[in-house]
C-alpha cells in the first residue's frame, strides 16, 4: 500500500511529540508500506534541519520515505479543492450580525499534499484529518487501514 506521510507526522518524530501518530508511521514501516511524500513536504521540513538538505535526505532515508514530484494531476486535484476552500472562506459570516467570522487558515501546501495523496496514494497518515476529510473526502486515513 502506498501511504502519503504528512509533514505533521515527520515533525512529531523530530520533536518526539504525539507518540501515537509516530507509532502509526513505525507500524507502516513494519508492514512494509510504500511511504512517500510530495516534494512540498521536503520543503516544509527544511526549517527543521536549518536548511541542510543532506540532513533532510538522511532523515527521510532512515524512515524509508521516498520524495515524489508534484505532477499536474496532483496539482489539479489540489487546485480544485483550494478553490472550494477559498470560496467557502469568503462566505463565512456570522448568521446573526453579518460580520466576517474568524476562519481557520490553511496553506496551499496542505492542498498540494492532499492532491498528491488523493491521486497517487492509497491512504494518508496525518494528524490533521479535518482538512483532508472536508476537501478530499475520498482520501482514506491510514488509521482506518489498521482495521484490515
The DSSP code sequence of 90-140 is HH-B-TTT-PBPP-----HHHHHHHHHHHHH-SEEE-S-HHHHHHH-TTPP
pLDDT value at position 99?
67
Q: Is residue 68 pLDDT above 80, yes or no?
A: yes
pLDDT value at position 56?
97
Q: Is residue 148 pLDDT above 50, yes or no?
A: no
For the chain, give the percent of residues with pLDDT over 90: 63
Which pTM was predicted? 0.82
Which residue range is the domain that position 120 belongs to?
2-142
- Domain assignment present for residue 125? The answer is yes
- Domain assignment present for residue 147? The answer is no
Q: Is residue 101 pLDDT above 60, yes or no?
A: no
- Domain assignment present for residue 148? The answer is no
- Domain assignment present for residue 7? The answer is yes
- Domain assignment present for residue 129? The answer is yes
- Domain assignment present for residue 113? The answer is yes
pLDDT tens for 108-143 read: 789 899 999 999 999 999 998 788 999 999 999 998
Q: Cβ distance 110 to 7 under 8 Å?
A: no
Q: Cβ distance 56 to 49 under 8 Å?
A: yes
Domain tally, the chain: 1
CATH number, position 72: 3.40.50.1010
pLDDT value at position 95?
65
- Domain assignment present for residue 107? The answer is yes
- Domain assignment present for residue 68? The answer is yes
Amino acid at each position: 500500500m502506498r501511504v502519503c506521510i504528512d509533514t505533521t507526522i515527520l515533525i512529531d518524530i523530530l520533536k518526539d511529540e504525539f507518540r501515537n501518530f509516530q507509532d502509526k508511521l513505525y507500524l507502516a514501516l513494519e508492514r512494509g508500506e510504500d511511504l512517500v511524500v510530495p516534494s512540498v513536504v521536503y520543503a516544509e521540513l527544511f526549517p527543521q534541519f536549518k536548511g541542510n538538505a543532506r540532513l533532510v535526505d538522511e532523515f527521510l532515508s532512515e524512515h524509508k520515505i521516498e520524495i515524489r514530484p508534484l505532477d499536474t494531476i496532483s496539482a489539479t486535484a489540489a487546485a480544485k479543492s483550494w478553490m472550494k476552500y477559498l470560496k467557502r472562506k469568503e462566505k463565512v459570516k456570522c448568521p446573526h450580525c453579518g460580520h466576517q467570522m474568524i476562519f481557520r487558515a490553511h496553506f496551499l501546501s496542505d492542498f498540494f499534499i492532499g492532491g498528491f495523496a488523493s491521486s497517487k496514494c492509497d491512504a494518508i497518515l496525518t494528524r490533521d484529518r479535518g482538512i483532508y476529510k472536508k476537501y478530499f473526502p475520498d482520501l482514506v486515513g491510514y488509521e482506518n487501514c489498521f482495521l484490515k
